[in-house]
Amino acid sequence: MTLFRKALLLFIFVFILSCSSSEEDCKKTIIVQYSYTIVAPTGTTIIPEISRVVDCDFPEPDVAETIEELPRLNDFSYEVTELIVIPDTGNNTSRVSYKITISNLSDANVKGIPYVTTRINNDSFTSSSANTSNCLELQANSSCEITYDVESSLNLGSLTSFEIIDVNYLITQ
């Protein structure tokens, strides 16, 4: 009888494996992240496309909208409270240090990123102050201070002039 049970179980097992439908085997490829290129003054970064193979009944991912430009905080002001530029520190470096007080003049709390546009040796650069700032959230009618202090090698180029051109606050939420 045990031989009969083993044969019956083997038959049932083979029958179940042979009855798989093609719908269960259906697979599709979805794109999780599209490829894009970031070009900055320091170089070019290429972010590759990422795709995954999923079952056919897997829901299609929502396609994110492209944001051409983030909205700016309109009720906004800034004041450069400190600017120190040392073209040659004596250690084969130059040093730029500044403090900027930014103010949210609106009656609403905002989350965003402060951007500072500078002119260095007649070239303009706009950079985020997110990594050097605690100003990622501004309460209504409040102020915050952006600080920056960087020493750079003169082997990269000499610093002949430095100027803060503009400060903006781009709203992310």
9 in any annotated domain = no
Per the DSSP assignment, residues forming a β-bridge with 171 are 112
131 in any annotated domain = yes
Burial bucket for residue 150 (CB in 10 Å: 0-12, 13-18, 19+):
exposed
99 and 140 assigned to the same domain: yes
- E strand intervals along 87-141: 93-104, 110-120, 123-128, 137-138
141 and 159 assigned to the same domain: yes
pLDDT for 28:
86
pLDDT in tens, 139-168: 999 999 998 888 888 888 888 888 999 999
Domain around 56: 26-66
Distance separating alpha carbons of residues 60 and 27, to the nearest angstrom: 13
pLDDT for 3:
66
104 in any annotated domain = yes
pLDDT for 9:
62
Report the Cα 161 to chain-centroid distance in Å.
Answer: 30
pLDDT for 17:
57
35 and 119 assigned to the same domain: no
56 and 105 assigned to the same domain: no
**Biggest alpha carbon–alpha carbon distance for the chain:** 97
Q: Where are the alpha helices (DSSP H) in the chain?
A: 2-18
Domain boundary (66, 91, 115) is at 66
C-alpha dihedral (82, 87, 90, 94), degrees to nearest 10: 80
50 and 98 assigned to the same domain: no
pLDDT in tens, 63-76: 666 656 778 899 99
93 and 40 assigned to the same domain: no
Phi, psi of 15, deg, nearest 5: -65, -45
62 and 94 assigned to the same domain: no
Q: What is the CATH number of the domain that holds 149?
A: 2.60.40
10 in any annotated domain = no
- Please identify every stretch of the chain with a pLDDT value under 70, giving residue numbers as ranges: 1, 3-24, 39-43, 61-68, 130-133
14 in any annotated domain = no
62 and 118 assigned to the same domain: no
50 in any annotated domain = yes
